[in-house]
């Protein structure tokens, strides 16, 4: 017989609408824990697993990483001490009103590996949040900023207007969709949707990005590496040509690719 308690998150505690996000499973000498976003042998969780929560939480998804570490520590400290597990889980809401634990439930299991029971219970009571629709450019962009953890960084700003005086005393003004500054690192970012963009609008966006980054590099604000354009995958040779023009002045990252977050984070840090 194995015992388990479900970890729940209340996005708005006053509404009493809970989301099951994890489970602690234990018996007389073993404790196991599993939560959304946890990846085997990886310290940090995949925060995008929590992007189903209301958007006002998206800048704070890093909190779930801290809570996951807290639950892991509880499992290490409480192995063989079920009373300690119950004491901590019963007081969970005192730490944060958003987090709760259900009362104990039990499963009569014949699994040789108790982790198999943990996986089965997790799948049953938590599962994987389903996506309501095929992701669009904005969805990929939001996932990228969360996965790269830039969305949580106070050094990451949105919608920056830059005014610069050039050598001939002309004044140049340009916009950056995002701007990141940390120690010696300055990174400017423009977003350009390629796939479903009309060619006239694409001309305008590409020319604007080239002007912004050429100017920023002229005044030694950015380099080509730290001038970043976030795009989705071009669908025809004509749109490939826009990407080639951007690559001449900037680092182009396809946000639909799995390695996009790592590339962005490496440049920024």
* Residue range 122-165, pLDDT digits in tens: 999 998 655 556 778 998 999 999 999 999 999 999 999 999 88
Q: Is the dihedral of CA 134, 138, 140, 142 positive or negative?
A: negative
3-state secondary structure string, 200-262?
A: HHHHHHHHHHHHHHHHHHHCCCCCCCCEEEEECCCCCHHHHHHHHHHHCCCEEEECCCCCHHH
Choose the most confident range, by mean pLDDT, from 20-34, 39-53, 161-175: 20-34
- Condensed to tens digits (0 to 9), the pLDDT of residues 234-243 reads 989 999 999 9
- The C-alpha R_g of the chain, in whole angstroms, comes to 24
Which pLDDT value is given to residue 129? 59
Q: What is the pLDDT of residue 132?
A: 53
pLDDT of residue 110: 74
- Strands 227-231 and 19-26 come out as unpaired
DSSP state of 49: G
Residue 13 confidence class, pLDDT cut points 50, 70, 90 = confident
- Using an 8 Å Cβ cutoff, are 179 and 160 in contact? yes
What are the residue ranges of helices labelled H in the chain? 62-78, 82-90, 92-95, 114-125, 137-147, 199-218, 237-247, 260-268
Residue 230 has pLDDT above 70, yes or no: yes
CB 93 within 8 A of CB 99: yes
Burial of 259 (0-12, 13-18, 19+ CB in 10 A): exposed
Residue 141 DSSP one-character state: H
Q: What is the mean pLDDT of residues 210-227?
A: 95
Phi/psi for 122 (5° steps) reads -60, -45
What is the chain's mean pLDDT, rounded?
A: 90
In the chain, the domains with their CATH numbers are 2-125 (no CATH), 137-268 (3.40.1350)
CB 212 within 8 A of CB 188: yes
Supply the pLDDT for residue 133.
62
Longest dimension (CA), the chain: 80
What would the pLDDT profile of 116-130 be if each residue is shown by its tens digit? 889 999 999 998 655
**Cβ neighbours for 88, distance < 8 A, ≥ 6 positions apart:** 74, 78
pLDDT at 157: 93
Verdict on whether the full-model pTM lies above 0.95:
no
């Amino acid at each position: 017989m194995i015992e388990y308690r479900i970890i729940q998150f209340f996005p708005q505690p006053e509404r009493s609408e809970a989301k099951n996000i994890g489970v602690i499973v234990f018996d007389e000498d073993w404790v196991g824990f599993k939560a959304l976003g946890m990846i085997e042998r990886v310290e940090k969780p995949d925060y995008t697993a929590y992007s189903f929560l209301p958007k006002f939480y998206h800048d704070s998804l890093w909190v779930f990483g801290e809570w996951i570490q807290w639950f892991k520590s509880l499992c290490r400290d409480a192995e063989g001490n079920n009373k300690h597990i119950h004491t901590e889980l019963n007081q969970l809401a005192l730490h944060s009103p958003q987090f709760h634990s259900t009362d104990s439930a039990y499963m009569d299991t014949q699994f040789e590996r108790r982790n198999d029971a943990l996986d089965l219970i997790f799948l049953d009571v938590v599962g994987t949040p389903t996506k309501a629709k095929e992701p669009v450019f904005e969805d990929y962009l939001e996932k990228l900023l969360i996965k790269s953890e830039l969305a949580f960084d106070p050094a990451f700003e949105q919608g920056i207007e830059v005014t610069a005086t050039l050598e001939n005393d002309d004044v140049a003004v340009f916009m950056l969709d995002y701007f990141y500054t940390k120690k010696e690192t300055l990174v400017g970012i423009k977003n350009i949707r390629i796939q479903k963009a009309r060619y006239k609008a694409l001309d305008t966006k590409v020319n604007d990005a080239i002007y912004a980054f050429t100017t920023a590099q002229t005044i030694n604000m950015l380099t080509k590496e730290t001038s970043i354009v976030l795009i989705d995958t071009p669908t025809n040779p004509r749109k490939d040509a826009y990407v080639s023009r951007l690559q001449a002045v900037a680092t182009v990252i396809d946000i639909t690719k799995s390695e996009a977050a790592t590339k962005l984070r490496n440049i920024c840090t």
